């Protein structure tokens, strides 16, 4: 059986697309990706027609990326009710609500997932949220995570924030927290890495960084995987102050490198967190935590030791994820 995974072309990397690519590469040709170009911020008739063509062309079960499904719920509805019906499964990488129109997005999400032949969630957190919101059962296929070299970071000075530059990822909150940090024993430096998904937000972040000590921050933009590996290889602490996260693959990646993390409490980023703490989504809480990191060497050393001791536990073979996805779509409704 060949599974056809239909995904959007975004022009930048994202956690969902990174998941799709790694999943496909590990599938030994059991999963084939079909990228569909378009304006996925506001998909219209052209995008709908392209997705419909991709669904019709796939000679096997269809797995539709959740970003497409939520943008075009009518596609999922019509595919399942057509003559003959073409059941479509949906893989959910992120939850609705992270948009300028969260209630409208949530309604589109409900329509799409309720009409799908099945739903695959990339974390237990996401599956639980979908169940509580819509009463929808989702099969879980957690991301794989390869073995990484242990970080050489020891001083506690190299702070790292990885994620698309967008309000949801909370880089501005982090800059505000760092601004309130004041003088510390650490000569810290924070690196922001990730594609620019919101240019206005990026400019606000750059302006905020001008209020911080000279040379204490750098905004690196989108980086290739080897450069991300290099950053993790020398990082002391990962910072992920997202407003919402379905999983937080970068937290697992940092854990595999023996790097502790601070994440936002109540988000999916807590699921892969091994060594670190979960914080409220407010600058004051992050300032206090960062102040403790900078001032309390025993606290810092304990987190770093825990991260290094537990790093092999973060490793997971992508082949396991492939098996979970294939099992999820191998249902009476999902078979061709």
Locate tokens 């890495």: which residue? 193
211, HSE (Cβ side, Cα atoms, 13 Å): 14
Classify domain 158-314 at the CATH class level.
alpha beta
Bridge pairing between strands 31-36 and 261-264:
unpaired
For position 9, what pLDDT does the model report? Answer: 96
For position 145, what pLDDT does the model report? Answer: 95
Distance (Å, rounded) from C-alpha 101 to C-alpha 39?
17
For position 85, what pLDDT does the model report? Answer: 74
Pick the CATH number of 3-144+317-329 from 3.40.1010.10, 3.40.1410.10, 3.40.50.2300, 3.40.50.2000: 3.40.50.2000
Locate tokens 């975004």: which residue? 10
**What's the chain's average pLDDT?**
93
Locate tokens 């969902």: which residue? 16
Domain pair 3-144+317-329 / 158-314, same fold: yes
Residue 248, helix vs strand vs coil: coil
Distance (Å, rounded) from C-alpha 3 to C-alpha 64?
10
pLDDT tens-digit readout, 108-126 = 999 999 999 999 999 999 9
Domain boundaries, given as residue ranges, for the chain = 3-144+317-329, 158-314
For position 117, what pLDDT does the model report? Answer: 95
Sign for the pseudo-dihedral over CA of 105, 193, 31, 320:
negative
Least confident of 61-75, 84-98, 140-154, 182-196: 84-98
pLDDT tens-digit readout, 31-87 = 999 999 999 989 999 999 999 999 988 778 999 999 999 999 999 999 877 667 788
């Amino acid at each position: 059986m060949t599974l056809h995974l239909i995904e959007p072309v975004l022009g930048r990397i994202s956690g969902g697309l990174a998941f799709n690519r790694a999943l496909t590469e590990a599938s030994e040709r059991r999963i084939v990706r079909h990228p569909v170009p378009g304006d996925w911020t506001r998909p219209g008739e052209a995008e709908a027609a392209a997705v419909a063509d991709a669904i019709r062309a796939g000679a096997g079960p269809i797995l539709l990326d959740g970003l497409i499904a939520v943008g075009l719920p009518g596609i999922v509805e019509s595919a399942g009710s057509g003559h003959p019906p073409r059941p479509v499964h949906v893989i959910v990488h992120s939850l609705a609500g992270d948009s300028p129109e969260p209630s409208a997005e949530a309604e589109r999400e409900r329509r799409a997932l309720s009409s799908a032949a099945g739903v695959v969630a990339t974390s237990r957190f996401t599956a639980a949220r979908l169940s509580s919101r819509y009463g929808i059962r989702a099969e879980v296929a957690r991301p794989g995570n390869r073995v990484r070299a242990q970080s050489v970071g020891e001083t506690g000075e190299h702070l790292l924030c990885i994620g698309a530059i967008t309000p949801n990822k909370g880089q501005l909150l982090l800059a505000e927290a760092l601004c309130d940090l004041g003088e510390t024993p650490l000569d810290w430096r924070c690196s922001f890495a990730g594609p620019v998904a919101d240019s206005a937000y990026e400019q606000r972040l750059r302006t905020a960084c001008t209020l911080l000590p000279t040379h204490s921050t750098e905004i690196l933009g989108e980086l290739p995987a080897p450069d991300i590996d290099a950053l993790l290889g020398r990082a002391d602490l990962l910072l992920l102050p997202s407003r919402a996260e379905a999983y937080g693959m970068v937290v697992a990646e940092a854990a595999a490198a023996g790097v502790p993390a601070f994440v936002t409490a109540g988000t999916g980023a807590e699921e892969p967190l091994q060594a670190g703490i979960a914080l409220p989504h407010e600058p004051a809480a992050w300032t206090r935590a960062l102040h403790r990191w900078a001032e309390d060497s025993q606290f810092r050393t304990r987190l770093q030791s825990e991260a290094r001791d537990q790093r092999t536990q973060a490793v997971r073979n992508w082949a396991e994820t492939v098996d979970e996805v294939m099992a999820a779509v191998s249902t009476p409704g999902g078979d061709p």
